[in-house]
Amino acid sequence: MRSERNYVAGLYTRLDAARERVEAEYTAALGGTGGTPMERDVQVRASAKELKRLHFGDNGLCFGRLDTLTGEHSYIGRIGLFDEDNEYEPVLLDWRAPASQAFYIATAASPENMRRRRQFHTRGRQVLDFTDEVLGRPDGDARGDAALLAAVNAPRGEGMRDIVATIQAEQDEIIRLDHPGVLVIEGGPGTGKTVVALHRVAYLLYTQRERMERHGVLVVGPNPAFLNHIGRVLPSLGESDVVFMTTGDLVPGRHVTAEDGPEAARLKGSLKILDVLAAAIADRQELPEEPLPVELEDVTVRIDAATAEWAREEARATGLPHNEARAKFTEIISYVLTERAIARIGKGWLTREDKVAWESMRKDLMLELGKHEGFAAALDALWPLLTPETLLGQLFSSRERLRLAGADPVLWRADGEAWTVSDVPLLDELVDLLGTDKADEAAAERQRKADAEYAKGVLDIMHGREDSMDDEDHLYATDLLYAEDLAERFIERDTRELAERAAADRDWTYRHIVVDEAQELSEMDWRILMRHCPGRSFTVVGDLAQRRSEAGARSWGEMLEPYVPGRWVYRSLTVNYRTPAEIMSVAAAVLADFAPSVAPPESVRACGVQPWSRQVGADELAAAIEEFVQAEAGREGTSIVIGPPGVPGTVPASETKGLEFDAVLVVDPERILADGPRGAAELYVALTRATQRLGVLHQGVLPQALAGLDPAGTPVPAGSPRLV
């Protein structure tokens, strides 16, 4: 024990020394001493990233040791450390390194050329104890179960914890899977699919860092509470170039959480909505019922339906998005109007043979049209510049526009811009269908040039250029860095980290995307995500049995084959590490009712506490909930009350997906079951959030699927044994 404590203490000494060295390098670069500005900038960024990595090593730096058959041994930890005198000699292996894999997959039957696996139990920087497993012998000591059960039995905190010290063999296989396309990880409640996916991200960033870190990784979750719950896992593994979003965040500047009803969500989630959007845009490209007069200084001309139709056909024929095709529409209308105006103004004295006079008059008339408010108003009426929000908001708030677009009337709402989660992929799609205003693009280009001019001035000042600068200095300033490049560097460098830049950029593309609770995503959700990842590198996490959304996946192939035909693989997790057997047996009865072909995951443990139920009257419900809350208040860990939408003091099951709590109270399960076609899946989710204790309060008849609950109806008193 003493030698192990000394070795781990030595690792912390190395960690502190490395951190002190990197901090000195960071301070020197930040202070502007040594090297060129570009070199210092690179050093600042590299040092900051290394400091983050070293800081994450403090908690559980070293958690195990592997001994080979030849007597050699290696230590496994959260990060890798090397001997200062020989930087190629590891003194601590990163858990993601190939040489560390045996720590997770070696068994008595398949020892992977290892003799022993040792697991440390630590508090802070101190090694308290260790357990050994002798490999390759059927009578070897059992290691892993003790460490694993200690981890899963521990009270839950505010967020998900990493499992770097207790990764199981089936999990490790998925984490290290070498597949460039889409990996689907399916598993029932408590199987660890989310945390496995996050560790897979950390592994990919370790093995493919140069390819992945420039564009980062996107993690998509079902709601902000879930993202907050998992948000600490990757930073605890030393990875920070990760963006966390819900599907409601995928359009920059548009954060929504409201949900449509089942039918509206189904319609908006289907790819058929693309036809509705196209028709809605075409409907805004109008023809005048009566000719629209444009009163010029010398003559009045009119835009008639025939002219507008010709211009519309020419504009549509360009294949450009709506806003960009407006230029062609305007060009044709302007041509016709100026031709008519010239013919009337020059009647009797101007002929087409007088090309100079004709073109001179055309130029004057074009300038006049360009400033003419009436002409601009006519164009806006016939071919308006549209934003995604304007088009969609006006579509959903108008029954007539919905009818003309061939949309179902159920999509109507009084406030067209009361955005829902299902609207987000539609708004994103419209960015491409509508395009940009060329005038805005021209303004952006002018701003870019202005930034470049400013950056050029900065370069001149940096290198002491004055009017008398000689040619050599001028070449030095020019060759050092183009002004346009410097301008772009200023824009990216000033204040924003990768996550901030990615979240603000609709066109940002990621090297890898993790999609959790993926069974809830619609066809339109997948369309927007595929645009964000041209390389089609995904880790998809879900459980089809827990699908709630009518627009969600009924099979993985149905959703993925259109985008990655033959490039997706499926893996399943079957062991339940979260839900004890007593609770899982109750949840399994509910699962059997609505998904009889799905096998529930097998729990690895029992907690010794039977889940209970109690019937209460309407006037007793609030007091019964408070009794549960008070009973849990004095305990270590977390608790929650889950109920149907609208019940005071409860949280809907949909908002607890992916979360876990030591104790759960489910209220009115009969109402949850009755709440729509996916009520049974909602109840299944609610029942499987608990890691230790489960209670159920019901006002009506207890559903038959819950007959296995203990009818004693008494919360476990504080201080009772938590485990067996």
Q: Check: CB of residue 161 under 8 Å from CB of residue 549.
A: no
The answer to whether 189 is annotated as binding is yes
393 annotated as a binding-site residue: no
Between 273-283 and 388-396, two packed helices, what is the crossing angle to 10 degrees?
100
225-236 burial by CB neighbour count: b if 16+ within 10 A, else e? ebbebbbbbbeb
Q: Is 390 annotated as a binding residue?
A: no
Amino acid sitting at position 213: E
| Residue 643, annotated as binding a ligand | no
- Backbone phi, then psi, for 311, in 5-degree steps? -65, -40
What is the C-alpha separation between 449 and 315, in angstroms, rounded?
30
Tell me which amino acid residue 418 is.
A
637 in a labelled binding site:
no
Instruction: Report the candidate in 322, 295, 326, 291 with the shortest Cα–Cα distance to residue 306.
Output: 291
Using alpha carbons only, give the angle 5, 11, 13 rounded to the nearest 5 degrees: 105
SS (H, E, C) 147-193: HHHHHHHCCCCCCCCCCCCCCCHHHHHHHCCCCCCEEEEEECCCCCH
Q: What would the two tokens of residue 708 be?
A: 């296995």
The C-alpha atoms of residue 642 and residue 685 are separated, in whole angstroms, by 10
Nearest to 148 by CA among 172, 125, 115: 172
Return d(Cα 316, Cα 282) in angstroms, integer: 9
352: buried, middle or exposed (CB in 10 Å: 19+, 13-18, 0-12)?
Answer: exposed
Q: What angle do CA 385, 390, 394 make, to 5 degrees?
A: 120
Which phi and psi (to 5°) does residue 244 adopt?
-110, 130
Say whether 36 counts as a known binding-site residue. no
Q: Are 339 and 296 in contact (CB under 8 A)?
A: no
Compute the distance between CA of residue 548 and CA of residue 685 in angstroms, rounded to an integer. Answer: 10
Which helix H or strand E contains 587, and what residues bound it? helix 581-594
Sequence ranges of the binding site = 187-194
Binding-site positions for ATP read 187-194
